Homo-oligomer: A and B are copies of this chain.
Amino acid sequence: MDEGVRERKKRETRAQISEVATTLFFERGFDAVTVEDVARAAGVSKMTVFNYFLRKEDLLFDRESEGVELLRSVLANRGKKSALVALRDEVRRLVASESVFTTFDHSVLSFWKLVQGSPALRARTRELADEARDSLVPHLERPNADLVAGVIVAGWRAGYRAGLEAARQGRSAKKAAAELERVLDVTLVAARAAMRG
């Protein structure tokens, strides 16, 4: 028995809450929805919500940690490549596979707008960025590892912003993705420069 009734219900409840919450957030904006609103709409108590999600922001960023997970796995299975090259190659692969195009479609633009509209959510993105940086440091060669990790994360954020901005201006998702790739290429150069010292 891999999954009893208990486990199943937990998974369902969690998914239910997250889904309901996301819907409400898009309808009314993050700050205008209280946790109790979410709880009521999900047919559950406020405590239960906080039982599944540590912070209110996690209701939205639930699968955002997948990004950190991907980062980790790329660095873990990089063979003889340097961390920098492995990351660059992964980005190229993503852009080539076109799966990244959906990153800059309309739905993600409104997601971005939602995030930008809430101080708490913006703060959470910053926190996630710092976490990514810290988890990156051990995979980089010793001198200046902290700086290099910071540069990479700064580059990722800048690339993301550039892509979203391009998409916001009505350019195609493909062009937006290309913009992301370009900024990341520049970032790679900068990171290498930082690594040499």
State the A residues within 8 Å of B (CB): 123, 126-127, 130, 144, 146-147, 150-151, 153-155, 157-159, 161-162, 183, 186-187, 189-194, 196-197
Contact = CB atoms under 8 A, between A and B. Distances in A.
A135 to B, nearest CB: 15
A54 to B, nearest CB: 12
Give the secondary structure class of A's interface.
helix
Contacts of A153: 154
Copies assembled:
2
Contacts of A130: 126
Contacts of A162: 146
A197 B162 CA distance: 15
A161 B137 CA distance: 13
Q: Which of A147, A153, A183, A187 has most chain B Cβ within 10 Å? A: A147
B183 A187 contact: no
Contacts of A154: 147, 150-151, 153-154
A122 B126 CA distance: 10
Q: Which of A123, A190, A196 has most chain B Cβ within 10 Å? A: A190
Given A123-B127, A130-B126, A151-B151, A158 B186 contact: no
A143 to B, nearest CB: 9
A155 B147 contact: yes
A190 B183 contact: no
Contacts of A157: 150
19 contacts: A123-B123, A123-B126, A144-B183, A146-B162, A147-B154, A147-B155, A147-B186, A151-B154, A151-B155, A154-B154, A186-B197, A187-B194, A189-B193, A189-B196, A189-B197, A190-B191, A190-B194, A192-B193, A193-B193
